[in-house]
């Protein structure tokens, strides 16, 4: 799955029929912040559960997908396994 910037670069390259997009930074300005909080619970010696939330705010130098600012809430849920070396 492409991120917003990669999708934008791919669309621009396809629209102009130019070469494949490179991974070098463009001259556009981009700025973003991400803040979050989370916790881990041990479910035994080897397993754990992770739960977290975050807020993300990003401003693009140009409209991307019809929007100049992307913001929103997100959640993380995970299962952790700790290898048991003895």
Residue 13: predicted pLDDT: 61
Residue 37: predicted pLDDT: 97
CB contact at 8 A, 7 and 21? no
Per the domain annotation, does 68 fall within a domain?
Answer: yes
Residue 85: predicted pLDDT: 83
- Distance, CA of 34 to CA of 36 (rounded, Å): 7
Enumerate residue ranges in the chain where pLDDT < 70.
1-29, 64
Contacts of 16 by beta carbon, 8 Å cutoff, 6+ apart: none
CB contact at 8 A, 76 and 55? no
Contacts of 1 by beta carbon, 8 Å cutoff, 6+ apart: none
Residue 39: predicted pLDDT: 96
Residue 2: predicted pLDDT: 55
pTM of the predicted protein model: 0.48
Per the domain annotation, does 86 fall within a domain?
Answer: no
Structure letter (DSSP) for residue 12: H
Structural domain count, the chain? 1
Owning domain of residue 51:
4-81
């Amino acid at each position: 799955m492409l991120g917003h910037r990669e999708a934008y670069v791919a669309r621009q390259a396809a629209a102009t029929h130019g070469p494949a997009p490179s991974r070098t930074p463009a001259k556009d300005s981009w700025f973003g912040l991400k803040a979050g909080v989370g916790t881990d619970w041990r479910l035994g010696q080897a397993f754990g559960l992770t739960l977290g939330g975050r807020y993300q705010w990003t401003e693009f130098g140009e409209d991307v997908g019809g929007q100049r600012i992307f913001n929103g809430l997100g959640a993380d849920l995970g299962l952790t396994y700790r290898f048991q070396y003895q």
